């Protein structure tokens, strides 16, 4: 089962194939001629999921008593939402293709394109499954390591999501069981989404148990909390920091160590960027005097995975400033005065392989945001103070290419303005890998 698990980890997100030395085990070779190779890979999944939501207190956003709430994924859930649907899980359906040139001067040059789609959004044919190109890049690999140029998966928080069992499940659902794009998994509920970004990055070869990655990335907009209308903050709308004159830097250091019969993996990763507010932004638009020059966004994530016989335990955490609690640099990264907000989180996960393809797992984690002074007492932004996710999964590998899954759990959202929102979910699904 070790080989099967490795193949699945690679096939799950074809963008991450470069992380494995056994690409040949997880692709279909379409053509090989005079050293040129064209290969095809991908994954498809579907889940039947049931969701129900309820509040444990009367929370209102705004003077009209609107009972809507900002969730970990940025979606809006209405009080009492219940739903059932056939959905795509955390991983989209993936259709990927790679073109490799003949090896020359010790170099392997490969181009890749990845099409990602889903079922959510609309039951009608013309409203279904938007396609996005998360991967369009080429890489140059040799004894020195691998250089990747183009849009590919990020470095910061990559280890957290790749070791999450919910990568092959649904996890948290945004806006109802048949809404949004893919589901959230544990994104915003234990780590931040690494996402896919334009980049120039370098992955080192292994130096004994150690390896590292570093890259420069297209800078991201840093998004504010929105608009405040009360408690001494009169109708201020905070702008976003959208002018990045320098690239964002992301990096990671990884180690894999044998400890007796066990294997311990360790990692540290993070990012840093600086972005300025658009010209004309000032206190009248909600930006405080000491924030006029711009926003420094920084984060560090860390974790470990202990594997012993059929057991595996993962512990991961992060601390961030001006990054938010969901997607990277997403909503909640800034307060209404344009100041960077602090956030932190992590998750703990345990899984066991019974053999013959049957596995069980449980995980718990959450993300939290510290409310800045400018946000205190505002009622127009029903922002989450913290959100946690309990999740259990049972899965069975019917074949090397087909997995069936049963999943259930619940999320808890607490709000700076008081009260809470709970979501309960459960369902069954399947994955096909090629």
Alpha-helical regions (H) of 83-195: 158-162
Per-residue pLDDT tens digits for 392-412: 999 999 999 999 999 999 988
What burial letters (b/e) apply to 7-17, b meaning 16+ CB within 10 Å? bbbbbbbbbbb
Say which DSSP state 434 is in: -
Residues ≥6 apart with Cβ < 8 Å to 33: none
The rounded percent of the chain whose pLDDT value lies above 70 is: 70
- Please state which of the ranges 33-42, 106-115, 336-345, 417-426 shows the lowest mean pLDDT: 417-426
For residue 309, count other CB atoms closer than 10 A to its CB.
9
Alpha-helical regions (H) of 77-148: none
Under the banding of pLDDT at 50, 70 and 90, the label for residue 127 is: low
Give the separation between CA 42 and CA 12, rounded to whole angstroms: 8
pLDDT of residue 421: 76
- As a whole number, mean pLDDT of residues 155-169 equals 94
pLDDT of residue 72: 38
Tell which wins on pLDDT, 326 or 209. 209
Query: Under a CB-based contact definition with an 8 Å cutoff, are residues 158 and 65 in contact?
Result: no
Give the separation between CA 89 and CA 17, rounded to whole angstroms: 20
Per-residue pLDDT tens digits for 57-105: 444 443 333 344 444 344 444 444 567 888 888 888 899 999 999 999 9
Of 245, 312, 293, the C-alpha closest to 273 is 245
Question: 3-state secondary structure string, 245-268?
Answer: CCCEEEEEEEEEEEECCEEEEEEE
Q: Tokens 């800034």 identify what position?
A: 334
Tell me how many domains the chain contains.
Answer: 1
pLDDT of residue 144: 96
Domain that holds residue 139: 2-433
pLDDT, mean over the chain? 78
Under the banding of pLDDT at 50, 70 and 90, the label for residue 245 is: confident
Residues forming a β-bridge with 85: 49
Q: Is residue 24 packed enough to be buried (19+ CB in 10 Å), middle (13-18) or exposed (0-12)?
A: exposed
Distance (Å) of CA 422 to CA 32, 184, 389, 415? 53, 15, 10, 12
Any idea what the Cα angle at residue 392 is, between residues 368 and 80, rounded to 5°?
Answer: 65
Query: Under a CB-based contact definition with an 8 Å cutoff, are residues 274 and 246 in contact?
Result: yes
Kindly report the CATH number assigned to the domain that includes residue 389.
Answer: 2.40.160.10
């Amino acid at each position: 089962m070790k080989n099967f698990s490795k193949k699945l980890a690679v096939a799950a997100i074809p963008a991450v194939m470069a992380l494995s030395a056994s690409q040949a085990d997880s692709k279909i070779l379409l053509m090989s001629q005079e050293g040129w190779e064209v290969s095809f890979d991908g994954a498809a999944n579907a889940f039947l999921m049931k969701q129900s939501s309820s509040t444990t207190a009367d929370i209102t956003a705004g003077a009209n008593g609107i009972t809507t709430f900002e969730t970990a994924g940025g979606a809006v859930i209405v009080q009492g939402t219940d739903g059932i649907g056939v959905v795509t899980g955390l991983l989209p359906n993936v259709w990927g293709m790679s073109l490799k040139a003949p090896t020359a001067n010790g170099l392997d040059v490969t181009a890749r394109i990845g099409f990602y789609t889903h079922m959510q959004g609309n039951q009608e044919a013309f409203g279904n499954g938007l396609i996005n190109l998360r991967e369009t890049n080429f890489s140059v690999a040799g004894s020195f390591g691998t250089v990747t140029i183009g849009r590919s998966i990020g470095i910061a928080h990559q280890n957290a999501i790749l070791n999450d069992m919910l990568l092959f499940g649904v996890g948290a659902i945004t806006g109802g069981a048949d809404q949004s794009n893919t589901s959230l998994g544990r994104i915003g509920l234990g780590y931040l989404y690494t996402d896919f970004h334009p980049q120039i990055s370098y992955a080192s070869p292994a130096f004994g148990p150690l390896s590292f990655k570093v890259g420069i990335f297209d800078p991201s907009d840093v998004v504010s909390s929105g608009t405040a209308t009360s408690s001494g903050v009169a109708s201020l709308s905070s702008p976003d920091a959208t002018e990045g004159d320098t690239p964002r830097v992301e990096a990671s250091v990884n180690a894999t160590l044998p400890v007796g019969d066990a294997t311990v993996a360790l990692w540290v990763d993070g990012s840093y960027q600086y972005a300025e507010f658009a010209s004309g932004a000032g206190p009248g638009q909600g930006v405080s005097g000491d924030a006029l020059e711009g926003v420094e966004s920084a984060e560090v994530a860390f974790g470990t995975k202990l594997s012993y016989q059929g057991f595996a335990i993962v512990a991961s955490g992060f601390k961030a400033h001006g990054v938010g609690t969901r997607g990277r640099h997403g909503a909640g990264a800034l307060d209404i005065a344009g100041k960077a907000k602090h956030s932190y989180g992590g998750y703990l996960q345990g899984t066991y392989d019974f053999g013959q393809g049957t596995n069980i797992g449980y995980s718990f984690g959450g993300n939290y945001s510290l409310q800045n002074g400018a946000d205190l007492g505002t009622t127009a932004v029903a922002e989450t103070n913290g959100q946690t996710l309990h999740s259990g999964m049972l899965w069975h590998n019917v074949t090397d290419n087909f997995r069936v899954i049963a999943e259930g759990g619940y999320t808890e959202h607490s709000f700076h303005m008081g009260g809470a929102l709970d979501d309960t979910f459960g369902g069954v699904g399947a994955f096909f890998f090629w």
